[in-house]
Amino acid sequence: TEADLQRALRQQEFRLHYQPIVSLTTGRMTGCEALIRLQHPERGLLAPDAFMRIAEETGLVVPMDRWVLHAACAQMRAWRDAGLDVRWTPLVGQDGGQTKRGSRLSCCLS
């Protein structure tokens, strides 16, 4: 529900899961995709198909997108600060369907 999403934003119940993007030519990791999930207190970990329609209909997708970008960039900085040689840019999307509809965002960390 809309109230669940508002609570999730306030209580920081969203999570990002990172999926590597690997070059078929070199076998090296060239990036990652940050995928949003909702850690619902009663229903457990929810995939975007359980909440994105409501987020889009209510306009809550805007603050969610901001949170995702901030969290993905913070994780990239943390990986770099930990000494990992991270030279790629994460791709941020809710799921495959969202990405195909053009809502994939890139977060530049130069």
10-residue block means of pLDDT along the chain (110 residues)? 92 91 86 88 92 93 89 86 74 46 38
**Tell me, what's the pLDDT at 97?**
41
**Tell me, what's the pLDDT at 22?**
86
pTM of the full predicted structure?
0.73
3 state DSSP class of 101? coil
Contacts of 22-31 with C-beta under 8 Å, sequence gap 24+, read 29/88, 30/88, 31/88, 31/89, 31/90, 31/91
Main-chain dihedrals φ then ψ at residue 101, nearest 5 degrees: -85, 5
